[in-house]
Structure formats: C-alpha cells, structure tokens
Amino acid sequence: MRKLVVVVGLPGVGKSTVLSLASEKLRERGYAVRVVNFGDFMLSYLLGRGVVKSRDEIRKLPLATQRELQELAARAIREEFEKAPGERFIGIVDTHAVIRTPAGLWPGLPLSVLKELRPDLIAVIEASPEEILSRQQRDSSRARSDYSSKQLLEELLATYRYYAIASSVISGAALVVVVNRENQASQAAEELVKSIEEL
C-alpha cells in the first residue's frame, strides 16, 4: 500500500495537530509516513532564487508565477515520495485548497498540481468558526488578522469544501471531511487514519 494523501484546512482548524497525531497512529500500525508542506517546497525554491524573502510574499506573486511554482513543487513532492522505500508508505501533503490574494481566490490544487501529485485521498480538516477564533486568541504567534471574522470564516470554510470537492472530482481521489472539535484532535486523527487505511 503506497498512498498519497492531500490534507487541506483553513489556518486555525488544527490541521498541524491532527496531522501529527495521525502520522503517529499510522507509524504505530507499521506504515512509513512522510508529511511535507507544499508551501515549504515553493518557499525553498523562491528563496534560493531571491524571488521572495518570506512565505507571505508568495501569495502576492502574479497568478502565472503561482501556477508555475505550484506545478514545480508538486512534481518535486511526487518525485521525493516515489524514492521512499517500502510498500507501506503514506505520503501526506499539507497544503491549502484556496489561496486568498488581493486579486481574488486562487486554487491551491489546480489541474496541473493534481496531475503531478495524483492523490488517492483529499482530506478537509474543519472546525467551527468559534473554535478557530478561540484558537487564534490563545495562540497569538499564529493569529491571522485576515481570518478574524466569524462571517468570513464561515464563507471560507464552505469555499474550502467546494474547492476540495472540485479537486476530488477532477483527480478521481476519494474525499473525506474531518471535523476537529475542541479537545478532540485524537478522534479527528483517528478518522483520518481510518479513511487512509480503507483506500
């Protein structure tokens, strides 16, 4: 079983926590797991060429540049995962379904990226707007002023789901929505693990 899983979620849904717990559970069950952050691949490429100085600058680049970088990053991730040894390997890509930019919403998983990654599963991690706002207040180091309105969060949660559904349809990947309720990250991780094992 060699699988590639794409996990998306708004800032504040607890995606990193759920992924960490899910990875631990998969390893306990005998899987080799590698989690990579899509944005890290893009950032590394751009920093090396002096195009940007920080991660936040990436989403301010022109759409054509974004598309090119997304495709390059997807190819690099796929190639890296293909080098991983063993038949019980799970490659997990932590990314965004939607990127908010001054020019509007851009897809985090356009067709070119899906063709390169060829995911088996797309997982959307969600939380209620109230929980997202509460987590932002508790963790000031990761608060996002552009994600601090309940109404906006409700709209973006729905948009994330729509974009993930579209990506699932285009790629043929399975889709699961995992709700990460307050103090229940382990249960959310278990739900994600179950979906992966059932592929």
pLDDT tens readout for residues 117-173: 999 999 999 999 999 998 887 776 655 556 678 999 999 999 999 999 999 999 999
Provide mean pLDDT across the span 183-194.
97
Q: What is the pLDDT of residue 95?
A: 96
- Amino acid at site 53: K
Q: What is the pLDDT of residue 137?
A: 79
Task: Give CA angle at 168 (164, 174), nearest 5°.
Answer: 110
Q: What is the pLDDT of residue 142?
A: 56
**Full domain range(s) for residue 120:** 2-197
Answer whether residue 41 shows pLDDT above 90. no
Burial class (CB in 10 A: 0-12, 13-18, 19+), 132: buried
Q: What is the pLDDT of residues 83-124, one digit of tens each?
A: 999 999 999 999 999 988 878 888 999 999 999 999 999 999
CATH number at residue 114: 3.40.50.300
pTM of the predicted model, to two decimals?
A: 0.91
Percent of the chain past pLDDT 70, that is, above it, reads: 96
Mean pLDDT of the chain: 91
Query: For the chain, what is the domain count?
Result: 1
Q: What is the pLDDT of residue 45?
A: 77
Classify each residue of 79-108 as buried b or exposed e, where b means 16 or more C-beta atoms within 10 Å of its C-beta: eebeeeeeeebbbbbbbbbbbbeeeeebbb
Answer whether residue 53 shows pLDDT above 90. no
